[in-house]
Amino acid sequence: MQIKSLKLLPVSLTFKQPFVSAHETLSQRNLLLVQVVDELGNQGLGELEAFEQPYYSSETLVGAKKIIEHTLAPTLTNFCFDNPCQIQTLWQKVRGNNFAQAAVETAIWAAFAQRQQQPLRTIIAQSAGSSTNSSIHTGISLGLSDLKTTTNQVQQALNQGYQKIKIKINGNADLKRLASIRQRFIHAPLMADANGSLTLTPDLASNIDQLNLIMIEDPFGPQDLRNSHILQKQMSTPICFDEPITSVAAALNALYFQQCQIISCKISALGGITPVIQLIQAQRQYHFPLWCGAMLEGGIGRALNLAVASLNNFNFPSDIAETKRYYQKDLTQEKFELQEGKIILPTATGLGVQLLPSYQKQLHNLPSLI
C-alpha cells in the first residue's frame, strides 16, 4: 500500500449551545479534515482534534497542522507498507505531537479498511486480537452549567437511554452542585470530570465518596501525580486518568504507582489506532478497567470512536453522544441516533460514513501535500 495523496481541509462546526468546561468555553469547534488516497484510489478520512488554545494539551490546532505539513506528510512520499501499524516507524524521531500523528494515521487506517473491503472496526478488532459489536451502549458528557440546567440535562439524558452521564465540574465548591444532582437522581450512572480543577483538602476524599460516582476523571492537573496518588489512597471512588494518558507507558505507570484505577482511551491523545491497539493488548495482560473517551469530535471523529468503542475490551460506555447532540450542522451524511439506549454501528467498508457533498467538493479542489 502506498499513499499517493494527502489533503487538509479546515472546517468549523457551531455548537447548538456553548460547551463549558474548567478549561474554556467553546462556541465553535474548529477542526482539520485529513484525506488520504492510496495507489488504488481507496480513500480514508481523519480528523485533527487538537484545540485552538493550549488548555487541554500543549499541542494546538495551528501547530499540529504545521507538523502534518512539514514533518509527517513528507515521510509518506514513496513509502510502501503492508499494514498501517508500520506508519509509526516513520515517525519514531517525532516527540509528542500525538494529535497530528493520529489525524494522519487514522485516515490511513480508514483507507486500509476500505482497501480490505471491511468495516474499520473489523480491521481494528483483528489487529488487536479482539472482537467487535454491531451496536454499543454509550454515554454523554454535560458541560458546566447551573444546577437547574444540569438537572434538566441529566433527566433528559436518562430519558434518552444514555448509560453513563459525565458531568463537568470546576473546583471543590462545585461538588455541592453534584451532591444536589445525586440527591435528585439516586441511582443514576453518574461520573464527574474535574479537568484538573480540584485542590487536595482534608475533606476532599470523603466529599467525593459521598457522591457514589462511577469514577472521577482528572481531579488534578496532568503533572500533579503525587496528589492523585494521595487522593486515590484516601477514597474508594476510582480515579480515571484522561489528560495524563499520552502513551501506553503513561497509562501503565499511572496504574502501577496507584495514581488512578481506570484509563480513558482517547485515540487522538494517544497518537492513533496503533497505540490504541497496544493499550488494549496491555489491558489484556494487566487487567485494568478501560473505556473509550471522546473529544467533541465531528462526524468523522465520531465514526472513528464508534469503531474503536465497539471492541469488547471496554468496561464502561463511551462518551459518544448522538450526532444531533452538539452541532447545528455536522460533517457526515449519516446521522447516529440512540435506539433503545444503543447506537447502531455502520456496516459499510472503511469508516462507514460519507462527508456532506460540500466538503467533498472542497477536498476535490485542494492540492495534495505529497
Catalytic residues: 168, 266
Rounded Cα gap, residues 227 and 252, in angstroms: 18
DSSP 8-state symbol, 346 = P
Neighbour-count burial of 230, counting CB atoms closer than 10 A to its CB (0-12 exposed, 13-18 middle, 19+ buried): middle
Rounded Cα gap, residues 251 and 244, in angstroms: 8
Instruction: Name the one residue in this structure whose C-alpha cell is 447532540.
Output: 325
DSSP 8-state symbol, 185 = S
> What ranges make up the beta strands (E) of the chain?
3-20, 25-38, 43-48, 135-137, 140-142, 165-168, 190-193, 216-217, 239-241, 262-265, 290-292, 338-339, 342-344
> What ranges make up the beta strands (E) of 216-330?
216-217, 239-241, 262-265, 290-292
DSSP 82-127: SSGGGHHHHTTT--S-HHHHHHHHHHHHHHHHHHTTSBHHHHHHHH
C-alpha pair distances (Å), 329 with each of 91, 297, 307:
35, 13, 22
Rounded Cα gap, residues 306 and 345, in angstroms: 7
Rounded Cα gap, residues 243 and 258, in angstroms: 16
Rounded Cα gap, residues 51 and 128, in angstroms: 29
Angle, CA 28 vertex, CA 307 and CA 300 arms, to 5°: 20
Q: Are strands 165-168 and 190-193 parallel, antiparallel or unpaired?
A: parallel
Reading the block at residue 149, the C-alpha cell is: 440546567
Count of CB atoms within 10 A of residue 35's CB?
24
Rounded Cα gap, residues 122 and 112, in angstroms: 12
